[in-house]
Amino acid sequence: MLEEILFVVLAAGTVITALLVILQRNPVASAIFLIMTLFSLAGIYLLLEAPFIAAIQVLVYAGAIMVLFLFVIMLLNLEKEQKIITRNRLQKIFGVFLGIVLLMQIGMVFHSILLTGEKGFFPPDKVAALGNTEVVARLLFTDFLLPFEITSVLLLVAIIGAIILAKREI
Amino acid sequence: MVPLSAYLVLSGILFTIGVIGFLIRRNTIVLFMSIELMLNAANLAFVAFSRHLNSMDGQIFVFFVMTVAAAEAAVGLAIIMAIFRTKETVNADEINLMKW
């Protein structure tokens, strides 16, 4: 029962703050609400018995990525830019309409296919006995070692790309 | 116990909010935040299926999605700064020429 209540509260928090992200005029307010969305999602990950993912969500997403966003907003000095609104009303109407169509399509997919599959080797009690972080780490450094290493190269490329793009003269 | 479908519906709603935000907003930084919302919706679906199917692969995948999100945010925000330096705007409707 407690799980259901927590889920409803966190899901409502996620949806409301996500709506506020896209409805706020001020980009700083949008960023703050996005941080709240990410925290609610971290709570939902805890409900799904993924505590390590929840911790990473808070540390990397709410911590690192959102600080990057706030820094850029601060650096750009957007005072006169804050009032960027879509003057084209048609664009807004079509945007919302297409979004609703997409939601209906997603709902139809969920409704029409059977949401089952081959069960894996990690039932919740086994993961709890081994420890969530230990299981994730073991998989990451054995079965998924090559993607893990490629990820480090991707981050290196991103660092170099960001420095080159942000330099004053190229 | 909360059924899988509830998590998937939440994921779908979150993704739709991201799409609508991307379509109706013109501030490039808010467009990037909408992309983050969509990526998070995908992450939620991954973790929900991971728990439902007794597999850890979904949780591993979330790591890679987060890495791609971090790389995308770093490079994308650098591009926004470079554009702002030359054009003095972050309005996506005014950034409509490749080079001028």
Closest Cα of chain A to B67: distance in Å? 7
Q: Cα separation of A147 and A139, whole Å?
A: 11
- Whether this model's pTM surpasses 0.80: yes
Confirm or reject contact between B99 and chain A (CB < 8 A): no
**B94 → chain A, closest CA residue:** A84
Is B100 within the bounds of a domain?
no
DSSP codes joined into one string, A57-113: IIIIIIIIIHHHHHHHHHHHT-GGGTT-----HHHHHHHHHHHHHHHHHHHHHHHHS
> What integer pLDDT is reported at residue A85 of this predicted model?
58
Is A127 in Cβ contact with B23 (below 8 Å)?
no
Which of B19, B34, B38 is the best substitution to test chain A (most A C-beta atoms within 10 A)? B19
**Residue B91 has what pLDDT?**
83
Domain ranges of chain A: 1-83, 123-170
Q: B16: domain CATH number?
A: 1.10.287.3510
In a domain, B49, yes or no: yes
Question: Could you tell me the residue range of the domain that residue B45 belongs to?
Answer: 4-87
Residue B94 lies in a domain: no
pLDDT at residue B96, rounded to an integer: 80
Least Cα distance to B76 among B24, B17, B33 occurs for B33
pLDDT at A110: 81
Return the CA Rg of chain A. Answer: 21
Residue B22 domain flag: yes
- State the amino acid at position A170 in one-letter form: I
Q: Is residue B16 part of a domain?
A: yes
Residue B86 in contact with partner chain A when CB distance is under 8 A: no
Q: Which residues of chain A have pLDDT under 70?
A: 78-87, 169-170
**Is the minimum CB–CB distance between B45 and chain A shorter than 8 Å?**
no
Taking contacts as CB-CB distances below 8 angstroms, the residues of chain A near B14 are 14-15, 18
Contact A72 B81 (CB under 8 A): yes
The pLDDT assigned to B74 comes to 92
pLDDT, average across residues B22-36 = 91
Fold that domain A1-83 belongs to in CATH? Four Helix Bundle (Hemerythrin (Met), subunit A) (1.20.120)
Provide the pLDDT for residue A170: 57
The C-alpha atoms of residue A27 and residue B25 are separated, in whole angstroms, by 11
B83/A contact by beta carbon, under 8 A? no
Axis crossing angle, helix B28-52 with helix A27-47, rounded to the nearest 10: 0
Q: Do B60 and A56 touch (CB under 8 A)?
A: no
* Res B44: pLDDT: 95
CA gap B20, B16 in Å, rounded: 6
**Alpha-carbon distance A54 to B2, whole Å?**
18
Question: How large is the ipTM?
Answer: 0.92
- Residue B87 makes CB contacts below 8 A (sequence gap 6+) with B94, B95
Q: Do B25 and A86 touch (CB under 8 A)?
A: yes
How many Cβ pairs closer than 8 A exist between chain A and B? 222
Residue B97 in domain: no
* Backbone φ and ψ of B91, nearest 5°: -75, 125
Note whether residue B93 is domain-resident. Answer: no
CA distance A59 to chain B (A): 11
B94 touching A, CB under 8 A? no
- C-beta atoms of A15 and B56 within 8 A: no
Q: By the CB < 8 Å criterion, does A79 face chain B?
A: no
Mean pLDDT of B74-88: 88
Is position B26 within any domain?
yes
Name every chain B residue with its beta carbon within 8 A of the beta carbon of A139. 56-57, 60
**Based on the structure, what is the number of domains in chain B?**
1
